[in-house]
Amino acid sequence: MSCDFLALAQPGVQKLSPYVPGKPVEELARELGLNPSDIVKLASNENPLGPSPLAVQAIQAALPELTRYPDGNGFALKQALSERFDVPPAMITLGNGSNDILELITRAFVGPQHEVVFSEHAFAVYPIVTQAVGAKAIVVPAKNWGHDLSAMADALTPATRLVFIANPNNPTGTWISRGDLEAFLERVPENVIVVLDEAYTEYVEASDMPSGLDYVSSRPNLLVSRTFSKAYGLAALRVGYAISDPAIADAMNRVRQPFNVNSLALAAAVAALGDVNYLGESRVVNRQGMLQLEAGLADMGLDWIPSRGNFIAVDLRREAAPVFQALLREGVIVRPVANYGMPNHLRVTIGLKNENQRFLDALARVLASV
């Protein structure tokens, strides 16, 4: 007799659907018999430049120590972040990617008796971590595809323990102004933790967007989450961090795995943080690529959601799934976002100039035939 182990799992876990990442190049190559070198992947908001040369050098220097456990406290990376952002190391929590940070803050503070507030069309990990701990998700309808902070403030109740806000938001690319964020923070009770997810903040070049770090020292209930996976080009190594009140960091470290960030990742992150030329080039490539895609989409008569990230959500004005599948046959991987309540959109990562053009040409062919 076999045991139904799923029935033994926690109720929230039983109802979870696993996070589905962007399709890997190797998987598409196997499925369709394509040459991996002929495939363009614009699905996962990765940096198209490849890693910083300084990060690669740091990894190579760290290789002889692979038999040793990593520094569980991440001293060197915390010190580098502390100096960069002028915050004490006690305010910094390191994560295995920023996803780890989102899970740690939820596990540390949220239980089945609590509510977690986030926006419609927001990052898929928010409902996953909420459901995993058995809490109640309060999903606030979006406004123009983005966060309606006034409505989110109205949704707070005595049971609310956590609020997730993404700025810019994934997958819509929408953003929150400084004034709107400040007005929201004024309305949040001190016992409700606000998680400001700034995974794409390094791509932001506009002056009207706030940095959570401007507020974190004066608002003990604010946590700012960031990552090295996007603009810093270290997605494969999984390095994220949070900056928060030391008491929040202390609680998160109580549930954090002792070696959650590996040695190569720690070394690479320190080097990448110091490579200002690489970060500058990443911004330039993203800015130029965004303009290229917007111009190409306009030529096709398509609409898109204005974005401050390294991706753009394209409105096909029809069901996107068949277009996505047809693009795969063209060797172009993008991201369908029907699971975000956006069945007519495709999210497209900004790539190199030739990759962007490959997508635009393939999309034009597909739209003419599907």
Q: How many CB atoms lie within 10 A of CB 154?
A: 12
Task: Give pLDDT, residue 12.
Answer: 72
According to CATH, the topology of domain 20-50+277-369 is Aspartate Aminotransferase, domain 1 (3.90.1150)
Q: Do domains 20-50+277-369 and 53-274 have the same CATH topology?
A: no
b (16+ CB within 10 A) / e for 289-303: bbebbbebbeeeeee
Task: Give pLDDT, residue 38.
Answer: 86
Task: Give pLDDT, residue 1.
Answer: 52
pTM: 0.92
221 vs 242: CA distance, rounded Å: 13
Domain boundaries, the chain: 20-50+277-369, 53-274
What's the CATH code, domain 53-274? 3.40.640.10
b (16+ CB within 10 A) / e for 115-139: bbbbbbbbbebbbbbbbbbbbbebb
Pair type for strands 40-41 and 92-95 = unpaired
Per-residue tens of pLDDT for the chain, all 370 residues: 578 767 777 777 777 666 667 778 888 888 878 888 888 999 999 999 999 999 999 999 999 999 999 999 999 999 999 999 999 999 999 999 999 999 999 999 999 999 999 999 999 999 999 999 999 999 999 999 999 999 999 999 999 999 999 999 999 999 999 999 999 999 999 999 999 999 999 999 877 789 999 999 999 999 999 999 999 999 999 999 999 999 999 999 999 998 999 999 999 999 999 999 999 999 999 999 999 999 999 999 999 999 999 999 999 999 999 999 999 999 999 999 999 999 999 999 999 999 999 999 999 999 998 7
Q: Are 331 and 40 in contact (CB under 8 A)?
A: yes
Taking only Cα atoms into account, the Rg of the chain, rounded to an integer number of angstroms, comes to 21
Tokens standing for residue 27:
């998987």
100 vs 7: CA distance, rounded Å: 26
